[in-house]
Amino acid sequence: MSLLCNAYMYITTNSICVNTGEVKISEHKLSTSFVHTCSVLAFSVNNLNFLAHIDAFEPNMKEKILKELNNVNLKEINEIHVWKGKNCLNNCPSFNILKDIIQIIGTKNIIYHQINETNIIFP
């Protein structure tokens, strides 16, 4: 896991930053950055925000996400938000993990987003 949240100090003043390879659930806003070869999954359910910054190089990344998903009722998720890093190209490992997680969550309203020029994500 890369500890990149301190690179943009203003992120942490308005939200809780999720580092590369990290998964968080919080009542507060969540954000992340440096999404190059990574992918991001985010959703809100029952006043909780979920954000996974999926890094295929992080050992047990899929298991980390599944562990946190056990803390929410998957049937109550109405929509999920997905970002694919600009350098996450053909057969991208982080996006493959993300697709597996989407299958586990079930068919939901999936909203695909583009990474903006600042490479900072505020779901």
Residue 120 confidence class, pLDDT cut points 50, 70, 90:
confident
Look up the CATH architecture of domain 5-121.
Answer: 2-Layer Sandwich (3.30)
If one compares 121 and 4, the residue with the highest pLDDT of the two is: 121
Model pLDDT for residues 66-92, shown as the tens digit of each residue? 999 999 999 999 999 999 999 999 999
pLDDT at 95 over 60: yes
DSSP characters for 4-44? -GGGSHHHHHHSEE--BT-EEEESS-EEEE--SS-EEEEEE
CB atoms within 10 A of CB 82: 19
pTM over cut 0.95: no
pLDDT of residue 84: 94
37-66 pLDDT per residue, tens: 999 999 999 999 999 999 999 999 999 999
pLDDT one-digit tens code per residue, 2-45: 566 766 554 555 788 899 999 999 999 999 988 999 999 999 99
- Residues present in the chain in total: 123
In this structure, which amino acid lies at residue 109? N
What pLDDT score does 98 carry? 97
Each domain of the chain, given as residue ranges in start order, spans: 5-121
Burial of 97 (0-12, 13-18, 19+ CB in 10 A): buried
